[in-house]
């Protein structure tokens, strides 16, 4: 085994309930992992001290299973749109605003609406830019940064660096790869914005204090991370234009890699830049929420055994629990189609499966119509991916190879960015 083969990287994921860390070999295999719930002195998921404690515990657990000196790079993902103001040492100056915390000041939101281009991801009360405007008057503020930026700063000592994915909702333009000049016209203090690197680009070597604290080599490279959503996509192994990933959870989310960016505000669709490719996706209101409206999980399991997925019911369902759809149809008044209801529950369940699969197929067609490539392969995550009958129906409806998922751990996707960064830095 060569020296390069023995080297490892670490990916760290911080979410709303805890942190996870994985150590990954150069071939993409996960060799160790660790996890920790948020450990906060205030029991508040907004507490940055709790974030850092959870990262410390998860990382220590992962490192406990490997030779720490073999780690050559690490990277961190965080929740998209979670923002906090800091001083030059990284000390938080106010309680962070989480990804789903809205800014209530109408004047700030109007300023963004009046100046941001229609396709920008900075629109809306929960955007990073709205939070920058809300935080920029905090006394002694040095930068307003994202959750992943702040945690990466604990390893580099730098609290003024972000990545292209976390910066997107703060108004960053991934096409020109710059902070656009219109941000200043909103009244934002542009000097508070972090410097931005591509996801997977080396930031700096690890700070001596961090290397000592975790028993890591002083040569470890800290790599620009990403959002938790992008990391989850990367974890699956999807890496070519036309590779799609469907998340079959409470709702249906579809994502696909494209050679070009896709922006369609009417669908809530924008694109993250990853390497020289673009990750575009949309979220439907159909999904597991519709199944739960009609059947308990145990009943679904029993009925699924009775389904013949090869033969179509002929029922043209668009399953929703109430009017309104986001993607692949953008219509707040869009009506559910779930009739006629067959007398047989297994047939009814099958028709719902077919309907959701039809929406999924239409969603990928819509991405292609908007300028993306044709779907070439599909990977599936979420609870619905485990249902054999539903999977067979989806394979029939979508007509592309269904490939295995390498991992559903966002931390594994971030480790893949660390691999890319380690190679760019010449340490792997």
- Give the closest residue to 56 by CA, choosing from 40, 32, 71, 36: 36
Whether residue 44 has pLDDT greater than 70 = yes
Whether residue 2 has pLDDT greater than 50 = no
pLDDT tens-digit readout, 153-176: 999 999 999 999 999 999 999 999
| C-alpha neighbours within 13 Å on the C-beta side of residue 376 | 10
Kindly tell me the number of DSSP H helices and DSSP E strands found in the chain: 13, 15
Residue linked to tokens 């998209």: 80
Task: Give 140's contacts (C-beta < 8 A, 6+ positions apart).
Answer: 87, 93
Mean pLDDT of 218-245: 97
pLDDT class of 3 with cuts at 50, 70, 90: very low
Contact status, residue 373 vs residue 241, Cβ threshold 8 Å? yes
The full set of domains in the chain, from first to last, is 3-230+410-425 (3.30.420.40), 240-398 (3.30.420.40)
Other beta carbons less than 10 A from residue 133's beta carbon? 24
Token digits for 106? 């109408």
Residue linked to tokens 């890496």: 239
pLDDT class of 38 with cuts at 50, 70, 90: confident
Whether residue 401 has pLDDT greater than 50 = yes
Token digits for 164? 């292209």
Query: What span, in angstroms and rounded, lies between the C-alpha atoms of 13 and 127?
Result: 21
Q: What pLDDT score was predicted for residue 243?
A: 98
Contact status, residue 383 vs residue 391, Cβ threshold 8 Å? no
Whether residue 356 has pLDDT greater than 70 = yes
**In 283-409, which residue ranges form alpha helices assigned H by DSSP?**
288-294, 297-304, 345-369, 388-398
3 state SS of 269 = strand
pLDDT class of 40 with cuts at 50, 70, 90: low
User: Higher-confidence residue: 361 or 265?
Assistant: 361
- 328 cis-preceded (ω within 30 degrees of 0): yes
Other beta carbons less than 10 A from residue 42's beta carbon? 10
Query: What span, in angstroms and rounded, lies between the C-alpha atoms of 285 and 272?
Result: 22
pLDDT class of 318 with cuts at 50, 70, 90: very high
Beta bridge partners of 11: 22, 75
Edge-first strand order for the sheet with 221-227 is 30-37, 18-25, 8-14, 71-78, 221-227, 202-205
Whether residue 217 has pLDDT greater than 90 = yes
Q: What pLDDT score was predicted for residue 291?
A: 97
Q: What pLDDT score was predicted for residue 279?
A: 97
Beta bridge partners of 379: 245
pLDDT tens-digit readout, 181-196: 999 999 999 999 999 9
pLDDT class of 42 with cuts at 50, 70, 90: low
- Give the closest residue to 121 by CA, choosing from 55, 65, 166: 166
- Output DSSP code: residue 191: G
- Give the closest residue to 398 by CA, choosing from 374, 381, 382: 374
- Give the closest residue to 284 by CA, choosing from 400, 176, 364: 364
- Give the closest residue to 269 by CA, choosing from 259, 260, 279, 277: 279
Beta bridge partners of 97: 83
Give pTM, 2 decimals.
0.93
Mean pLDDT of 275-285: 94
What percent of the chain is predicted at pLDDT more than 90?
94
pLDDT tens-digit readout, 248-259: 999 999 999 999
Cα-Cα-Cα-Cα torsion 103, 109, 112, 117, nearest 10 degrees, comes to 100
Query: What span, in angstroms and rounded, lies between the C-alpha atoms of 47 and 98?
Result: 10
Q: What pLDDT score was predicted for residue 1?
A: 35
Q: What pLDDT score was predicted for residue 41?
A: 55
Task: Give 120's contacts (C-beta < 8 A, 6+ positions apart).
Answer: 171, 173, 270
Mean pLDDT of 303-328: 97
């Amino acid at each position: 085994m060569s020296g390069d083969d023995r080297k490892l990287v670490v990916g760290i994921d911080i979410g709303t309930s805890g942190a996870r860390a994985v150590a990954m070999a150069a071939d993409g295999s996960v060799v160790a992992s660790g996890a920790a719930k948020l450990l906060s002195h205030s029991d508040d998921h907004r507490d940055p001290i709790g974030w850092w404690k959870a990262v410390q515990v998860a990382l220590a657990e992962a490192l406990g299973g490997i030779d720490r000196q073999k780690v050559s790079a690490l990277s961190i993902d965080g929740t998209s749109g979670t923002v906090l103001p800091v001083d030059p040492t990284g000390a938080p100056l106010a309680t962070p605003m989480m990804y789903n915390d809205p800014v209530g000041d109408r004047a700030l939101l109007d300023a963004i609406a009046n100046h941001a281009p229609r396709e920008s991801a900075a629109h809306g009360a929960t955007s990073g830019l709205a939070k920058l405007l809300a935080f920029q008057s905090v006394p002694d503020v040095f930068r307003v940064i994202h959750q992943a930026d702040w945690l990466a700063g604990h390893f580099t000592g730098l609290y003024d660096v972000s990545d292209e994915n976390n910066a997107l909702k703060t108004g960053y333009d991934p096409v020109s790869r710059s902070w656009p000049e219109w941000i200043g016209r909103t009244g934002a203090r542009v000097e508070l914005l972090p410097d931005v690197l591509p996801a997977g680009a080396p930031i700096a070597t690890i700070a001596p204090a961090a290397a000592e604290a975790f028993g890591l080599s002083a040569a470890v490279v800290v790599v620009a991370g990403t959002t938790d959503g992008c990391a989850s996509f990367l974890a699956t192994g999807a890496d070519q234009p036309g590779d799609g990933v469907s998340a079959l959870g409470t709702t249906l989310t579809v994502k696909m890699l494209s050679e070009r960016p896709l922006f369609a505000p009417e669908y809530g669709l924008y694109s993250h830049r990853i390497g020289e490719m673009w990750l575009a996706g949309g979220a439907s209101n159909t999904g597991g929420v519709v199944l739960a409206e009609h059947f308990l999980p145990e009943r679904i399991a029993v009925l699924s055994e009775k389904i013949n997925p090869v033969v179509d019911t002929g029922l043209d369902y668009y399953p929703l629990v109430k009017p309104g759809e986001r993607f692949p149809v953008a219509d707040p008044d869009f009506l559910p189609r779930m009739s006629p209801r067959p007398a047989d529950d297994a047939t009814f369940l099958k028709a719902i499966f077919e309907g959701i699969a039809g929406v999924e197929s239409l969603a990928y067609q819509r991405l292609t119509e908007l300028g993306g490539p044709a779907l070439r392969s599909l990977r599936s995550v979420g609870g619905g991916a485990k249902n054999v009958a539903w999977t067979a129906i989806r394979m029939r409806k979508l007509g592309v190879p269904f490939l295995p998922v390498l991992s559903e751990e966002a931390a594994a996707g971030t480790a893949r960015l660390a691999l890319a960064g380690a190679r760019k830095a010449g340490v792997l």
